[in-house]
């Protein structure tokens, strides 16, 4: 397109049909018919003109610096007119305008103080009519004074209706409304007053009225054909009418019903009045009393009785009485479940019974992570602590609940039999009979044997019975009082029981437990807990062959502790641990017989097969420490070690865990006791140089006996008699036998017991045999044979280790993840933090640039404004200056003229 700008403009205007040769009338009409959208022509024209303007003002638009880019797949087409990137002229104008409104105002207000701000509503709004302004202001003021702005404030709704008198409004009904006496007619007259807009409104309204009148007029005219639309409207109107009618009918019914409802009480009253009246005639005299009871009270009672009857539980079908087989089955199922749990604990798995364990489980799983666990010992045992079984209380067979007499202990022949105690308890016999049945029923109640027979439910409530108990003077035929205070410490217990024979201890404990049963007093639980702790202390008292209670008594006490520990597991466990701690602090390798009892008690009370147990694990460590570290000096040391070895084997009876110390100790014992010193190395176990005189010499004729507790006392074993040594030797051999049985399946059986075979071979050697009794050497020989046999079996069963049949670990890959909807503009930073950081940085940069640009523009604007102001000032000054100059010149000129004239005049006068 060549030519000048003007030419081009003309051409394009013509092209668009905006200018052109004038069209004839005919042409125009035709065009109008062809183009129905003629009405938008004006609009179109505007658009077209705008386009032309844009086209001819290239600097108003910003285009891409270079032409369009090549088409590539990732190039997203921009929406709208992609070529135009911005309108700098417009933007600049807008910015300038904005600055004028804000910055300029600020500038002008700079260094100025005070002034009045007109905050009246609508004052600065030129679009509002003064009337509207007033109206709005009034409304606002009302609202403000009213304070109650909330739409939902119901409190003062009534006054809004205006004042009332006797429920009637204060409006003057008969008169015209004094307030609103405005009518349209008036308006018409004083139309001059109102402004244009209201007049328009009025006109509109008038028009509407006229139109309505016209419609009415139309109705009167003969029916014309209805349009489809009208038909449809009619149909709709009809259906609406029907609906309304139905609604009305329904409402009527509702009204009727409510009315009836209202009347019902009256009818009722009528009816009841009739009945009451009749009764009143019947018994007029005792009107207010029935059977001697006040009438109201009677009614009340009657109501209560009825309610009670209604609340009475209906006879529900109870569980069928189970047959013996079923019971046995249930029992075995329960045992099986318990055994399963035990197995799980043995494997060190988490066994949870309730939700509360869940949290622990999670923690355990976390800590169960091997890598972390290895790091230190503390972490190791974190995961193992399990509360596998619910306590007895939870299972509901706590011994505190039922007192069922069980004659288990009686059958054992001890004099705990209650039959020989007096008939203090009248229904004891019955109880006894019951018990055999109930025992079969509830095997759980095993525990109750300890408090058996002393109390039953009804008796506990019987005050006479309690009084009986509290009388201290009653003794049974053994001279045992029936009541004891509940000992709170070991020393108290000792002082209470010191007057009685040790044999009576179980009975005393039993009576204390019964007397201070938690059911009888709320404080008893605490007392019993202390008593249980005291019992533990009592068992741990130093043992002495003469003064200590016999083992049958100890056994019974241990069983009592066991039973109590179901009620007080934490207290008792704590006490046991306390004793273990004391041992490890004070005498780790100088155990006393009482410690042995304690360890045995732990072994029976707590499950020793658990992978980890708060009491058993330290106990086992204590045992291991002794037999592992003790260098035996006395025969008693050997005896204690042997006892502990037996005990540790017993601990591992179920779990069959390996205890290296047992092998070490027993083999060392055998070597030390053997009549001759071994000439060569017999195994990898550490050999301690035996104390002098430990070797068995010339004991051919010594009889076999079992070890007992007095052998564990250093003074008793001082002599080191051959009998004791033989006993030690034979026990150790038996111990090894048991150990071999226990660990028969272990993978290292061959290596472990090959040492034992060698040691036994040494004992069976000729030089040794001649010093040993035949029975012992026989035993040793048999064991050697047995071990050899077992070794052969073990050898046959041995397979190469294949421990690592693990799923191979996947090699870590870093192949980039395939993105389904990849967006090249987006950053796929795998590092989340870095991505966020980058985003923030970018934003910051952008903002910073924007802010700088704005500031720069602001500065420009200010400079411009200042310049403008200065220019204006200068101009004004200049103007003023010029004006003054002109004025002066004017004046001067006049003066000069006057002077000249005067001079001329004088000259002339002088001339004259």
Instruction: Kindly tell me the burial class for residue 140, based on how many C-beta atoms sit within 10 Å of its own C-beta (0-12, 13-18, 19 or more).
Output: exposed
Beta strands in 168-232 (DSSP E): 168-169
By beta-carbon proximity to other proteins, the closer residue of 60 and 373 is 373
Residues 469, 470, 471, 472, Cα dihedral to 10°: 100
Nearest approach, Cβ of residue 689 and other proteins (Å): 13
Nearest approach, Cβ of residue 561 and other proteins (Å): 10
Q: Is 810 in the site for other proteins (CB under 8 A)?
A: no
Any residues with CB less than 8 A from the CB of 850 and at least 6 apart, and which?
Answer: none
In this chain, which stretch among 282-290, 422-430, 788-796, 900-908 interacts with other proteins, using CB under 8 A? 788-796
By beta-carbon proximity to other proteins, the closer residue of 514 and 567 is 567
Q: Is there a contact between 734 and 705 (Cβ–Cβ < 8 Å)?
A: no
Q: How far is the CA of 74 from the CAs of 84, 820, 824, in angstroms?
A: 21, 14, 7
In this chain, which stretch among 425-433, 609-617, 839-847, 852-860 interacts with other proteins, using CB under 8 A? 609-617
In this chain, which stretch among 162-170, 239-247, 463-471, 683-691 interacts with other proteins, using CB under 8 A? 683-691
By beta-carbon proximity to other proteins, the closer residue of 99 and 342 is 342
Which residue among 456, 530, 752, 777 contacts other proteins (CB under 8 A)? Answer: 752
Which residue among 655, 726, 736, 740 contacts other proteins (CB under 8 A)? Answer: 655
Q: Is 511 in the site for other proteins (CB under 8 A)?
A: no
Nearest approach, Cβ of residue 564 and other proteins (Å): 10
Q: Is 613 in the site for other proteins (CB under 8 A)?
A: yes
By beta-carbon proximity to other proteins, the closer residue of 469 and 776 is 776
Nearest approach, Cβ of residue 558 and other proteins (Å): 5
Q: φ, ψ for residue 476 (rounded to 5)?
A: -90, -175
In this chain, which stretch among 133-141, 213-221, 310-318, 376-384 interacts with other proteins, using CB under 8 A? 376-384
Cα 764 from Cα 777, distance rounded (Å): 6
- 331-360: which residues touch other proteins (CB under 8 A)? 338, 345, 348, 360
Which residue among 416, 455, 529, 776 contacts other proteins (CB under 8 A)? Answer: 416
In this chain, which stretch among 15-23, 115-123, 623-631, 693-701 interacts with other proteins, using CB under 8 A? 623-631
By beta-carbon proximity to other proteins, the closer residue of 282 and 371 is 371
Cα 787 from Cα 760, distance rounded (Å): 10
Q: φ, ψ for residue 308 (rounded to 5)?
A: -65, -45
Cα 284 from Cα 554, distance rounded (Å): 82
In this chain, which stretch among 47-55, 214-222, 575-583, 766-774 interacts with other proteins, using CB under 8 A? 575-583
By beta-carbon proximity to other proteins, the closer residue of 122 and 518 is 518
Q: For other proteins, what does the binding mask look like between residues 686 and 715, x meaning CB under 8 A?
A: xx-----------------xxxxx------
For tokens 């007049």, the residue is 199
- 764-783: which residues touch other proteins (CB under 8 A)? none
Nearest approach, Cβ of residue 456 and other proteins (Å): 21
Q: Is there a contact between 626 and 640 (Cβ–Cβ < 8 Å)?
A: yes
Cα 419 from Cα 152, distance rounded (Å): 84
- DSSP-derived 3-state class of residue 86: strand
Which residue among 401, 446, 758, 781 contacts other proteins (CB under 8 A)? Answer: 446
Beta strands in 60-157 (DSSP E): 62-63, 84-86
Q: Is there a contact between 398 and 392 (Cβ–Cβ < 8 Å)?
A: yes
Q: What's the half-sphere exposure (Cβ side, CA atoms, 13 Å) at 869?
A: 9
Instruction: Kindly tell me the burial class for residue 554, based on how many C-beta atoms sit within 10 Å of its own C-beta (0-12, 13-18, 19 or more).
Output: buried
Euclidean distance between the first and final Cα of the chain, in Å?
A: 88
Element of type H or E holding 289 = strand 289-290
Q: Is 518 in the site for other proteins (CB under 8 A)?
A: no
Nearest approach, Cβ of residue 674 and other proteins (Å): 18
Q: What's the half-sphere exposure (Cβ side, CA atoms, 13 Å) at 66?
A: 3
Nearest approach, Cβ of residue 786 and other proteins (Å): 17
Cα 253 from Cα 259, distance rounded (Å): 10
By beta-carbon proximity to other proteins, the closer residue of 404 and 469 is 404
Q: Is 646 in the site for other proteins (CB under 8 A)?
A: yes
In this chain, which stretch among 58-66, 175-183, 617-625, 894-902 interacts with other proteins, using CB under 8 A? 617-625
Q: Is 497 in the site for other proteins (CB under 8 A)?
A: no
Nearest approach, Cβ of residue 589 and other proteins (Å): 9
Question: H helices of 110-175, where?
Answer: 130-146
Which residue among 12, 198, 367, 381 contacts other proteins (CB under 8 A)? Answer: 381
Nearest approach, Cβ of residue 739 and other proteins (Å): 10
Residues 31, 33, 34, 38, Cα dihedral to 10°: 70
Chain Cα centroid distance, residue 359: 10
Which residue among 453, 487, 569, 632 contacts other proteins (CB under 8 A)? Answer: 569
62-63 vs 84-86, strand pairing mode: antiparallel
Q: φ, ψ for residue 416 (rounded to 5)?
A: -75, -5
Q: What is the DSSP string of 340-352?
A: HHHHHHHTT----
Q: For other proteins, what does the binding mask look like between residues 388 and 407, x meaning CB under 8 A?
A: xx-xx---------------
Q: Is 835 in the site for other proteins (CB under 8 A)?
A: no
Nearest approach, Cβ of residue 365 and other proteins (Å): 15
For tokens 């034992």, the residue is 756
Q: Is 652 in the site for other proteins (CB under 8 A)?
A: yes
Q: Is 598 in the site for other proteins (CB under 8 A)?
A: no
Cα 459 from Cα 425, distance rounded (Å): 8
Q: How many CB atoms lie within 10 A of CB 876?
A: 10
Cα 682 from Cα 159, distance rounded (Å): 114
> By CB under 8 A, how many residues form the interface with other proteins?
133
Residues 247, 253, 257, 259, Cα dihedral to 10°: 90
In this chain, which stretch among 119-127, 258-266, 573-581, 860-868 interacts with other proteins, using CB under 8 A? 573-581
* Cα-Cα-Cα-Cα dihedral sign, residues 538, 541, 543, 548: negative
Q: Is 897 in the site for other proteins (CB under 8 A)?
A: no
In this chain, which stretch among 56-64, 685-693, 854-862, 867-875 interacts with other proteins, using CB under 8 A? 685-693
Cα 818 from Cα 499, distance rounded (Å): 89
Q: Is 612 in the site for other proteins (CB under 8 A)?
A: yes
Nearest approach, Cβ of residue 681 and other proteins (Å): 7
Q: Is 376 in the site for other proteins (CB under 8 A)?
A: yes
Q: φ, ψ for residue 455 (rounded to 5)?
A: -145, 150
By beta-carbon proximity to other proteins, the closer residue of 30 and 633 is 633
Q: Is 617 in the site for other proteins (CB under 8 A)?
A: yes
Nearest approach, Cβ of residue 705 and other proteins (Å): 7
- 128-187: which residues touch other proteins (CB under 8 A)? none
By beta-carbon proximity to other proteins, the closer residue of 415 and 492 is 415
By beta-carbon proximity to other proteins, the closer residue of 672 and 861 is 672
Q: Is 717 in the site for other proteins (CB under 8 A)?
A: no
Which residue among 27, 31, 301, 629 contacts other proteins (CB under 8 A)? Answer: 629
């Amino acid at each position: 397109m060549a030519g000048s700008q003007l030419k081009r403009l003309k051409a394009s205007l013509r092209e668009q049909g905006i200018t052109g040769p004038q069209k004839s009338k005919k042409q125009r009409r035709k065009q109008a018919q062809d183009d129905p959208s003629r009405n938008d022509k004006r609009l179109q024209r505007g658009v077209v003109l705008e386009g032309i303007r844009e086209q001819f003002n290239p600097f108003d638009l910003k285009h891409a610096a270079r032409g369009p880019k090549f088409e590539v797949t990732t190039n997203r087409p921009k929406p709208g007119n992609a070529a135009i990137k911005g309108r700098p002229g417009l933007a600049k104008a807008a910015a300038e305008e904005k600055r004028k409104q804000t910055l300029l105002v600020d500038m002008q207000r700079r260094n100025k103080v005070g002034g009045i701000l007109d905050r009246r509503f609508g004052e600065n709004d030129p679009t509002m009519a003064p009337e509207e302004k007033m109206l709005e202001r009034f409304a606002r003021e009302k609202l403000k004074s009213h304070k109650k702005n909330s739409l939902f404030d119901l409190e003062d709704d009534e006054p809004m209706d205006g004042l009332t008198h006797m429920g009637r409004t204060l409006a003057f009904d008969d008169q015209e409304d004094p307030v609103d006496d405005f009518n349209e007619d008036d308006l018409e007259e004083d139309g001059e007053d109102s402004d244009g807009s209201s007049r328009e409104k009025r006109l509109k309204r008038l028009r509407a009225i006229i139109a309505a009148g016209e419609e009415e007029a139309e109705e009167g005219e003969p029916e014309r054909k209805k349009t489809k639309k009208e038909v449809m409207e009619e149909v709709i109107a009809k259906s609406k009418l029907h609906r309304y009618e139905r609604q009305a009918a329904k409402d009527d019914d509702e009204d009727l019903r409510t009315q009836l409802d209202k009347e019902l009480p009256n009818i009722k009253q009528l009816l009841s009045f009739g009945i009451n009246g009749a009764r009143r005639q019947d018994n007029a005299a005792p009107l207010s009393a029935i059977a001697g009871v006040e009438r109201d009270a009677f009614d009340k009672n009657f109501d209560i009785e009825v309610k009670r009857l209604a609340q009475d539980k209906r006879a529900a079908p109870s569980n069928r009485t189970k047959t013996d087989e079923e019971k046995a089955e249930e029992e075995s199922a329960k045992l099986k479940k318990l055994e399963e749990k035990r197995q799980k604990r043995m494997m060190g798995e988490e066994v949870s019974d309730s939700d509360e364990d869940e949290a622990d489980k999670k923690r355990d799983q976390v800590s169960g992570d091997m890598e972390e666990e290895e790091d230190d010992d503390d972490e190791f045992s974190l995961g193992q602590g399990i509360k596998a079984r619910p306590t007895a209380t939870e299972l509901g067979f706590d011994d505190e609940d039922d007192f069922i007499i069980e004659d288990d202990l009686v059958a054992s022949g001890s004099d705990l039999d209650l039959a020989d105690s007096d008939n203090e308890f009248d229904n004891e016999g019955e109880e006894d009979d019951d018990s055999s049945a109930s025992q079969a029923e509830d095997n759980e109640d095993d525990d109750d044997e300890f408090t058996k027979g002393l109390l039953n439910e009804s008796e506990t409530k019987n005050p006479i019975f309690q009084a009986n108990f509290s009388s201290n003077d009653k003794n049974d035929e053994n001279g045992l009082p029936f009541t004891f205070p509940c000992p709170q410490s070991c020393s108290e217990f000792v002082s209470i029981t010191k007057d009685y024979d040790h044999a009576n201890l179980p009975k005393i404990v039993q009576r204390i437990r019964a007397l201070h049963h938690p059911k009888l007093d709320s404080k008893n639980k605490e007392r019993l807990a202390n008593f249980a702790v005291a019992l533990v202390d009592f068992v741990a008292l130093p043992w002495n062959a003469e003064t200590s209670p016999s083992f049958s008594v100890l056994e019974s006490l241990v069983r009592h502790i066991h039973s109590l520990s179901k009620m007080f597991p934490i207290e008792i466990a704590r006490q046991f641990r306390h004793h273990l701690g004391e041992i490890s602090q004070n005498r780790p390798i100088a155990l006393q017989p009482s410690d042995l009892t304690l360890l045995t008690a732990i072994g029976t009370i707590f499950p020793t097969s658990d992978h980890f147990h708060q009491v058993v694990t330290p106990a086992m460590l204590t045992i291991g420490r002794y037999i592992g570290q003790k260098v035996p000096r006395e025969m008693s040391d050997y005896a204690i070690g042997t006892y502990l070895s037996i005990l540790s084997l017993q601990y591992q009876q179920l779990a069959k865990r390996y205890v290296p110390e047992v092998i070490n100790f027993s083999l060392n014992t055998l070597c030390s006791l053997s009549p001759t010193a071994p000439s060569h190395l017999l195994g990898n176990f550490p050999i301690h140089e035996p104390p002098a005189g430990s070797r068995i010499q010339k004991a051919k004729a010594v009889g076999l006996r079992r070890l007992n507790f007095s052998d564990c006392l250093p003074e008793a074993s001082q002599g080191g008699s051959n009998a004791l040594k033989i006993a030690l030797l034979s026990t150790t051999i038996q111990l090894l036998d048991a150990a071999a049985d226990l660990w028969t399946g272990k993978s290292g059986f061959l290596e472990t017991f090959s040492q034992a075979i060698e040691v036994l071979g040494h004992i069976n050697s000729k030089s040794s045999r001649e010093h040993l009794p035949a029975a012992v050497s026989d035993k040793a020989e048999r064991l050697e044979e047995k071990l050899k046999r077992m070794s052969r079996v073990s050898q046959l069963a041995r397979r190469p280790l294949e421990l690592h049949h693990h799923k191979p670990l996947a090699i870590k890959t870093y192949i980039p993840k395939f993105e389904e909807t990849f967006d090249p503009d987006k950053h796929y930073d795998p590092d989340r933090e870095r991505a966020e950081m980058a985003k923030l940085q970018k934003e910051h940069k952008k903002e910073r640039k924007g802010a700088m640009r704005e500031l720069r523009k602001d500065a420009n604007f200010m400079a411009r404004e200042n310049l403008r102001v200065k220019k204006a000032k200068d101009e004004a000054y200049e103007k003023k200056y010029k004006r003054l100059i002109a004025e002066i010149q004017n004046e001067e000129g006049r003066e000069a003229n006057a002077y000249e004239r005067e001079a001329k005049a004088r000259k002339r006068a002088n001339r004259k």
